[in-house]
Chain A
Amino acid sequence: MAITEAKKMTTLQVKRFKPSENPTNTFLTDEKGVWAWMTTVDHKKIGIMYLVAVAFFFALAGFLAIALRTELWTPAKTFIEADTYNQLFTLHGAMMVFFVLVPSIPAALGNFILPMQLGAKDVAFPRLNLASLYIYVAGAIFTFAALASGGFDTGWTFYTPYSSDSNAAGVIWVTLGVFILGFSSILTGTNFITTIHKLRAPGITWDRLPLNIWALYATSIIQVLATPVLAITILLLSFENIMDIGIFDPALGGDPVLFQHFFWFYSHPAVYIMIVPGFGIISEVISTFSKKTVFGYWAIALSSLAIAFIGFLVWGHHMFTSGQSAVATTVFSFLTFLVGIPTGIKIFNWIATLYRGSIDMKTPMLYVFIFLFLFSIGGFTGIMLGALSVDIHLHDTYYVVAHFHYVMMGGTLIALLAGLHYWWPKMTGKMYNEKLAQISAVLIFIGFNMTFLPQFIMGAQGMPRRYYNYIDQFTPFHQTSTIGSYILGVAFLIILYYLVKSLYSGEKAPSNPWNSRGLEWQSTSPPDFHNFDHTPVVINGPYDYHKPMEEFQLGLAVSHNGHDAEHASADVNKTEEKA
């Protein structure tokens, strides 16, 4: 098939465009100054601004985590009051979920990489893309307003009736903030779906889509379908607080369990909004650093979609002890196990990709290995929590806390780090210090396990979550965990140090430092304002490492940065779609 395609292409006068190693004109030099950045519609700049924002919130929420862990050093008060502690863990959770995990991979890395992997000049709606960034900032402002008006201590889940009873002003501000933030997520999802459908370069058929694109596609579908339900839930909760409409509050005739259903209908799929894009990064990195075709392309691609769809049907597993109906509980438990299968399939396919590869343990690959180990533990403990009788015992204990940190931090965040190190040369045009990167990766691995492994044990022994004081028998576990969190903190500081340093004094990055076959690497580092200075033409799959590099650097012969030439490529695109 590839041959016939190639023939068709040659009639369209394809030629090789070798990316320049010394680009003079890049997106970083194209528009300069603060104002140009703030008003840019360039997906790359927007991606980088998102990355900075996400990093800021990660640092803030991470700092809160360190404070929380420090408070838990002793069973009683260590240095902060109970009310402060309750506000801090709420803030830590809300920020990590809504400001870090949800936008981290899609809006930051995805924004930068997705159009490049598609050979497009930008996302379909660049102005909406910029709008989504500002909506994100507006959501952040509302959250800070919530802090200014007395804070909120409801837990990030905002369960009623507690959230309608406690400090109303703070809860109203933060829920409105989350409501606004939802639109940012929806706009990103809408943009990505449209871009993937309509803006693919000539030759990128659905079976040549990079797995990262498949993952972002599945993510976008979840974002578009689930986020509006969160929006309406949060809106109803706000009405409840402002006007006492009584839909959720039992004192007014409402039902608190209904709120939980609404909330988890979004928030469980949201877990997949966070983790599925991570899967995409893992697929890219593992193929590049094994120099080998991904094993089971369709199994990995379709399992993302399967996760996206089944993920909508399992929200009730957060509510096994809540008093939902017995039938619902049974069905939700059953479906929960089904969603575990496609996740397992992915892990096995990734490991199979390594078989007989040419494995290069650079930092991104190191993170992939860490991911596979930590995420497996997250998955197995997920099976534990899906089992009805065991969940009754473990629900709302530190076991759950440890489980979702293994999935969200050991999964999403480690994948984000893998992606960040993988695409850093492309994004900035600079290489980071490999040795420091490896050291900090190992430190993260050690610190992470030290922080969260003890939490599995104390959770299974009965330590409930969201506890300011605890009984003495849990002290050693808590103290180990606290020390682990400090190690994690140090590791992140090292990462910050060498990444920032690379911007100033890093070695210049070649256009394709990892010899990847991915389309995004066939451009200069950093890329041109229009991503490529030609219209790329794709005739091979994104992981065809057995084919020569030349075949991955093709473009329309007549094309250059002008718009005239690209007009011709439209016909190619259309005939391909019709064919």
Chain B
Amino acid sequence: MGRLFDFMLPDNKSPLTADSTDGLFHFINEVSLIFLVGITIALIYFAIKYKRKSEDDKTPVITHNNTLEITWSVIPLLIVMVVFGWGYSGWLNLKAVPNDAYEIQATGYKWNWNFNYENGAQTLNELHVPKGRPIKVVMQSRDVLHSFFIPDYRVKHDVVPGRYTYVWFQAEETGESVIFCTEYCGTSHSDMLAKVIVHEPDEFEQWLELNGGGIQGTPVEQGEQLVSLQGCQTCHSIDGSPKIGPTFKGIWEREQQLTDGSTVVVDENYIRESILYPGNKVVAGYQNVMSPYEGRLSDDEITNIIEYLKTIN
């Protein structure tokens, strides 16, 4: 605390992952500032002191000085080796997940984050975690590259399709922190935000129990929950307002013009096809940007979503 460059960093809310990073950040900034001030003073001083007096000025012949060359090679070398070692050890710490870490599965897709908990609880763009316990977030991507970044915890990792990656942290105070996607992923990349919500441990247990057990209710209710959990409303409005994809309002049995000029009437089969293979029949005026849900939703789930879509008018 109280360091010169404190104003540059956001609050440190996960000391176990952030302390080393912050310390190094301040160290490099302070050493650099000393060098920069030195360089600037030298430049200004020389410019004034050795200002050209006349066109016939004679200057001394100073070709080189090995002592100086060695000095200004070795000193910076030593400093950067310290920086390397410090950064390396901090990074090892970021890779080494504590054994008792609580694991949460995360899925990134255009343009939402989906979180799954051990008891089947699911959330969209809200990562609920208990305070004072190491959390490991195991991440996968459904479509393109994303990157999971929590500035308050100084953790970040790319989310790569076809492999799992992870980050870990331990929040020490309750409250909220923002999660950014930092790997460019298309139109709404900058809206692919989520937040971490840190609870007291017992509060978290309650929350988990309340939301556990997955999706329940009538088919329409289940469909509604699915639509909200899958983040469909990021691109499809339910009030008729224009977004990246066609609105859900009045979608049932609507006649749609497609990009190839033909028209379809929206029925069960069209909705099913559009969820599983969105690129097959794209509505005119829209881009083919949706990720295919093939293998992500069961037939029953799709049926429930269709039932729900029928009710939006």
Contact = CB atoms under 8 A, between A and B. Distances in A.
Chains A, B in direct contact (C-beta < 8 Å) = yes
B182 to A, nearest CB: 4
B87 A354 contact: no
B149 interface: yes
A445 to B, nearest CB: 12
Contact of A333 (B57, B60, B84): B84
A464 B87 contact: no
Interface string B32-58: 100110011011001100111101011
A545 B42 contact: no
Interface string A72-111: 0000000000110010000000000000000000000000
A467 interface: yes
A150 to B, nearest CB: 10
Contacts of B147: 321, 395-396
A127 interface: no
Interface of B: 7-10, 20-21, 24-25, 28-29, 32, 35-36, 39-40, 42-43, 46-47, 50-53, 55, 57-65, 68-69, 72-73, 76-77, 80-81, 83-84, 86-91, 93-95, 143-145, 147, 149, 151-152, 154-158, 160-163, 165, 178, 180-191, 193, 287, 289
Contacts of B183: 159, 396
B149 A464 contact: yes
Interface in A357-406: 357-361, 369, 372-373, 376-377, 380-381, 383-384, 386-393, 395-397
Interface stretch (A112-120, A139-147, A340-348, A499-507): A340-348
B83 A387 contact: yes
Chain A, interface size category, equals: 35 or more
A510 B34 CA distance: 43
A364 to B, nearest CB: 14
Given A290-B59, A461-B151, 5 more contacts: A321-B157, A354-B43, A356-B59, A357-B46, A396-B182
Contacts of A377: 36
A295 interface: yes
A341 B80 contact: yes
B190 A390 contact: no
A579 interface: no
B140 to A, nearest CB: 11
Given A166-B186, A297-B63, A396-B147, A358 B53 contact: yes
Given A358-B50, A359-B52, A462-B180, A83 B187 contact: yes
Contacts of A373: 36, 39-40, 43
Contacts of B94: 389, 392
A292 interface: yes
Interface of A: 82-83, 86, 153-155, 159, 161-162, 165-167, 250-251, 255-257, 290-293, 295-299, 320-323, 326, 329-330, 333-334, 337, 340-341, 344-345, 347-349, 351-352, 354-361, 369, 372-373, 376-377, 380-381, 383-384, 386-393, 395-397, 456-457, 460-462, 464-471, 515, 545-546
A243 to B, nearest CB: 18
A390 B51 CA distance: 42
Contact of A351 (B42, B160, B184): B42
B83 A383 contact: yes
Contacts of A467: 189-190
A340 B161 contact: no
20 contacts: A166-B186, A256-B145, A291-B59, A333-B87, A341-B73, A344-B76, A357-B46, A361-B47, A372-B43, A376-B35, A384-B29, A384-B32, A389-B91, A390-B24, A392-B155, A393-B21, A396-B147, A460-B25, A462-B151, A470-B190
B230 to A, nearest CB: 19
